[in-house]
Amino acid sequence: MKEKNHKRRRSGPGRAMVSAVMLFFFLAFFLLFLQDFNWQSLALALIVPVIILFGSFGISRLFPADTLLLSLVNFLCALGVLVLYRLSPERGLTQALNYGVGVAAMIGCTLLIRYMPSFRFVNWAFMLGSVALLALPLLIGTERNGANSWITFGGRSFQPSEIVKIALLISMAHMLAKRKVILTMGFAAVCVLVLAVQNDFGTALLYFGTALVLGYAATGSVLLVGAGVGGAGAAVVLGNMIMPERFARAMSRVNVWLDPWQDVQGAGYQIVQGLIAMANGGLWGVGLGAGNATVIPEHYNDFIFAVIVNEFGMIFGLLVVLMYAFIMIRGIMIARNARTLFHALLATGCAAMIALQVFVIIGGNIKLIPLTGITLPFISYGGTSLVSSLCIIGIMQGVAARSEAGVNEDRELAMQGGGLK
């Protein structure tokens, strides 16, 4: 019976989708191979579809999983590898490696959530560890693009805030499920403050938004959201009084956002080039490998969305946004099917985290909101970011697997005559 169950799951829309995604990337890398006859392109044309296959079906072989969701996530990850490889083969190859590691981490997270009975005993460790990790760059950090939130370790640099995301989500969901609202919000506020002090406003905004969304989901209190926003406003005013110099620097970003064309060659350069790249792409894009979006600083990171619109066009860009929306909605569905408050909040947090991150960075790219440097989940270059994003998906899958297991247990109990509850 179990075997039959799996077979049913592997057919249907998920399966067709995975095949399409694999074909897309095989052809795309093959196209790049035809452009430069580099064996690496050919190797990726074979390897990337294999990772996609594993990332989509590997998990569903281990336990029931949502292949449609997985195929979307894999599509976005592979899209990142493709675009990065096209921009710089070296980065593309590194990203492919990160992708493989990320899929493994995703499975690890799924297993963790599926089988961990409770986070009660590790919660305090998570919280203290989070704050300590976040504060670490203040002591031994290196500065990148004005944000002092990186740690270099053994020749590799990474952002602790990406790892802390996972702990933050678990801790907040855990405490909110126990109705410790004040404690949760206090913890989130400390994290946000530490990030703001490091000038990492993008991540601070992301944490802040996620905390508010989770707080609202747990309490249903608009007052809480209002207090959060008010507190942030007060913090900004206070920050202005304590450190006017730094505040002025942040305000200059807002000015650049209002009119980047005032200083096309200077402060506004990045945004302007991003906008131009998207305009060059038009509806259908200039074609893979035909654009010149490398003129944008951080084209492989903050501005990768502009590169995608440049080469694949606006319609494709809209579809990418739609995929993120679908991933978010899938996460919310998992949350609503969850069987405990903790798991429901956990999945909600994951969905909100991904959605807000997408909003903050794409919104910055298209000049909807001021630009803050954070990564586009799954796509941007960067090991920590990719792995943590995949971990978040792993957590969602874990929650789903746990609910499914719960349903099955109930059914078995019922069949044995035990009945429900």
Partner 1 sequence: MKQVKNNIRRVCIFLCILFALLAAYGGYSITVNGNRWFSSGANTFVRSKKKDVIAGHILDRNGQVLAYNQQSQTAEGTKTTRLYHTDPLVRRAMVHVVGDSQGNVNNGVESFMASSLYGFQMSLVERFSCFFRGVQRTGDDVRLTLDSRLSAYASGLFPKGKAGALVVMNYKTGEMLAEISLPQYDPQNVTAQAKNDPQKPFYNRAVQGLYAPGSTFKIVTASSALENFTDAATRAWQCTGQLQVGDRFVTDAGTDMASGKIVSHGQLNLLRAFQVSCNNTFAQIALNLGDQKLKRTAENFGFNDNFLFRDVVVENSSYPRENRTEREIAWTGVGQSGLTATPLHMCMVASAVANDGVMMEPYTVMRTVSANGIMRTEAESRVYKTAMKPEAAQVLKGYMRTVVQSGTGTAAQIPGVQVCGKTGSAEVDTQENTNAWFVGFIDNDAHPYAISVVVEDAGGGGSVAAPIAKQVFQWMLNNGY
Q: Which residues bind partner 1 (CB under 8 A)?
A: 213, 216-220, 261, 264-265, 269, 272-273, 275-280, 282, 286, 291-292, 295, 314, 317-318, 321-322, 324-325, 328-329, 332, 335-336, 341, 344-345, 348, 351-352, 355-356, 358-359, 362-363, 366-368
Cβ proximity to partner 1: between 320 and 391 the closer is: 320
- Min dist CB 239 to partner 1, Å, is 26
Q: CA–CA separation, 156 vs 154, rounded Å?
A: 6
- Min dist CB 50 to partner 1, Å, is 31
Phi, psi for 11 (deg, rounded to 5): -90, -175
- Min dist CB 11 to partner 1, Å, is 28
Cβ proximity to partner 1: between 4 and 421 the closer is: 421
Which among 17, 41, 115 has a CA at the least distance from the CA of 330? 17
Give 116's contacts (C-beta < 8 A, 6+ positions apart). none
Task: With beta carbons less than 8 A apart as the criterion, state whether 394 and 102 touch.
Answer: no
Three-state secondary-structure class, residue 157: strand
C-alpha torsion sign, points 185, 234, 140, 211: positive
Cβ proximity to partner 1: between 53 and 315 the closer is: 315
Three-state secondary-structure class, residue 299: coil
Cβ proximity to partner 1: between 54 and 216 the closer is: 216
Three-state secondary-structure class, residue 379: coil
- Min dist CB 321 to partner 1, Å, is 5
- Cα dihedral 61, 65, 71, 72, rounded to 10, equals -160
Cβ proximity to partner 1: between 18 and 332 the closer is: 332
- Min dist CB 330 to partner 1, Å, is 11
Three-state secondary-structure class, residue 17: helix
Q: CA–CA separation, 407 vs 398, rounded Å?
A: 14
Cβ proximity to partner 1: between 101 and 276 the closer is: 276
- Min dist CB 214 to partner 1, Å, is 9
Task: With beta carbons less than 8 A apart as the criterion, state whether 304 and 381 touch.
Answer: yes
